[in-house]
Amino acid sequence: MKPKSKILIIAGSDSSGGAGIQADIKTVTSLGSYAMTAITAITSQNTMGVKSVSPVPANEIKKQINYTVKDIKPDAIKIGMLNSSKVVRTVINSLREIKVKKIVLDPVMIAKGGARLINDQAIKILKNHLINKVTLVTPNIPEAEVLSGVKIKNSNDMIVAASKIIRLGAKNVLIKGGHLNSKQVEDIFLNKNDLKIFRSKRYKTKNTHGTGCTLSSAIITFFSCGKSIKKACELGIKYVNLSILTNPKYGKGHGPINHINSIILKKIFR
Ligand SMILES: Nc1ncnc2c1ncn2[C@@H]1O[C@H](COP(=O)(O)OP(=O)(O)OP(=O)(O)O)[C@@H](O)[C@H]1O
Ligand SMILES: [Mg+2]
């Protein structure tokens, strides 16, 4: 099989392989497309925690994006962790130059443990100047609270927050419900004309490292291959759900999910 589309991923590296750019590459590849990358930061981490974060200079990020794209034009872009206002501005400028229309932004701000990953100034620029340039933004509950100013305790609050994010200029928003304690996990999709609540089985497992990165990469892959953004969200959620269910139980902390659940190996490679 040949790759179905080409995706550029702008995100941070996770040495443990479960989240960040590693999860993004595995997802895009496992769903049949070609992955290219611009690394925004290098993290040293394992399933138990983050040891260090080393940001890549904004100019190097710009070069990775522009030089890669000059040669192989992506059909779509996924944006993950952007950790300073300079980096957010640099990415906005590159997007203007490279003119790719299909973009998903995972506004990574807060780590699983609750620590802020980006400063207030970067959040302000992301909110006022980046969100309105992408097709879809995919905040988790704490990120949706920061973007909307709404305290979220249930799915009704998620809908209120989503409508505020649409008013910020987002074309489509998917608020991820992983952080709530509801029996089923609910992800809320909203745009100007449509509201959809995706309900899935919630698994009792600590192995959910990288679910957010994986979801946004799955969505951009389906979207790049011609699905509507809403259908791409539905399929992406299914892929993550199955990846959690079949997780390989690696590591002593929050282990990775099973990105390769979508792959069937040819007989000669088994
Ligand atoms: N325990 C679970 N069972 C089933 N689905 C889950 C579970 N936890 C998260 N999900 C799903 O995983 C996807 C990502 O949601 P989540 O809220 O975990 O994002 P996130 O906080 O950005 O993740 P990350 O920690 O990777 O940044 C959503 O579709 C959500 O419904
Ligand atoms: Mg996340």
The domains found in the chain, sorted by start residue, are 6-264 (3.40.1190.20)
* Ligand 2 geometric centre to CA of 71 (Å): 30
User: Which atom of ligand 1 approaches the CA of 208 most closely?
Assistant: 8
Residues with CB under 6 A from ligand 1: 19, 112, 140, 176-179, 185, 187, 200, 202-203, 208, 210-213, 215, 237, 240-241, 244
C-alpha angle with apex 24: 71 to 15, nearest 5 degrees?
105
Q: Which two tokens stand for residue 42?
A: 């290098």
Chain segment 80-132, per-residue pLDDT in tens? 999 899 999 999 999 999 999 999 999 999 766 666 788 899 999 999 999 99
Beta pairing, strands 102-105 & 195-201: unpaired
Atom of ligand 1 nearest to the CA of 213: 26
The whole model's pTM is what? 0.98
Distance of alpha carbon 267 from its chain centroid, rounded? Answer: 33
Question: CB atoms < 10 A from the CB of 187, how many?
Answer: 24
Catalytic positions: 176, 208, 210-213
User: Among 267, 209, 190, which residue's Cα sits nearest to residue 48?
Assistant: 209
Task: Provide, rounded to the nearest whole percent, the portion of the chain with pLDDT above 90.
Answer: 93
For residues 63-84, give the mean pLDDT: 97
In sequence order, the 6+-apart residues with CB closer than 8 A to the CB of 206 are 253, 254, 255
| Torsion angle of the four alpha carbons 146, 149, 150, 153, in this order, in degrees rounded to the nearest 10 | 30
Q: What is the pLDDT of residues 20-56, one digit of tens each?
A: 999 999 999 999 999 999 999 999 999 999 999 999 9
